[in-house]
Amino acid sequence: MNRAIVTLIVVVGLLGAVGITVMLYVARQSGPAHPVPYGGNNPSYGNDTTTVSIGGSGSGTGNAPKGPGKEAVQAAFTKSWPASSGTVIMGNTIVVSNFALQVWTADPMGGEALLKYDIVSGEWHVLSQGGGLWGVAALMKYGMDKGTALSLLYGIRQLK
């Protein structure tokens, strides 16, 4: 009888160890994506800003750079900016997967815009110009997974 109990305890312990190992492996595989600052190989951490003057004929239109990089994100945001709102200053840009956060200021306001890359059209689209800081739950409402949301937030905070 004691031998059966010891065998049962050993089997249950081994099954538990295997279960925990599988859970940790799966959790690690589905963890946050690594942020790719500026969509390039030469990240610039710090005060990277670009001033874009909006106004006059044809402003906010034209051929925006396409692709997943920083320049394309900033061009898409600039294109969406209302001409009557004056000058917008681009701050840091973080791209993770097919989502991006674009920090911007336009005296006296600012925010973090959320953009999504459309694979079919090959263009970035502004989902929200944002008026403040994002949270994980708010970003997830736009269809991204928690890992992507966390990576965007972590990445944009590291660049500030």
Digit-coded pLDDT (tens) for 85-104: 778 889 999 999 899 999 99
Q: Provide the phi-psi class of 122: left if phi over 0, else alpha when psi is between -120 and 50, else beta.
A: left
Lowest mean pLDDT among 19-23, 63-67, 129-133: 63-67
Bridge-based pairing state of the strands 50-52 and 88-96: antiparallel
User: Can you tell me whether residue 36 is helix, strand or coil?
Assistant: strand
pLDDT higher for 55 or 6?
Answer: 6
Q: What is the pLDDT of residues 33-45, one digit of tens each?
A: 444 333 333 233 3
Task: Look up the pTM and report it.
Answer: 0.59
| Per-residue tokens: 112 | 């973090």
Question: Quick one: pLDDT at residue 54?
Answer: 27
Task: Please state, for a pLDDT cut of 90, what percent of the chain lies above it.
Answer: 32
Angle at 126 between CA 81 and CA 85, to 5 degrees: 15
Under the banding of pLDDT at 50, 70 and 90, the label for residue 10 is confident
CA dist 52 and 10 (Å) reads: 68
Cα dihedral 42, 77, 113, 137 sign: negative
Q: How far is CA 83 from CA 52, 86, 107, in A?
A: 11, 6, 14
Do residues 139 and 124 touch, judged by C-beta distance below 8 A? no
Under the banding of pLDDT at 50, 70 and 90, the label for residue 25 is low
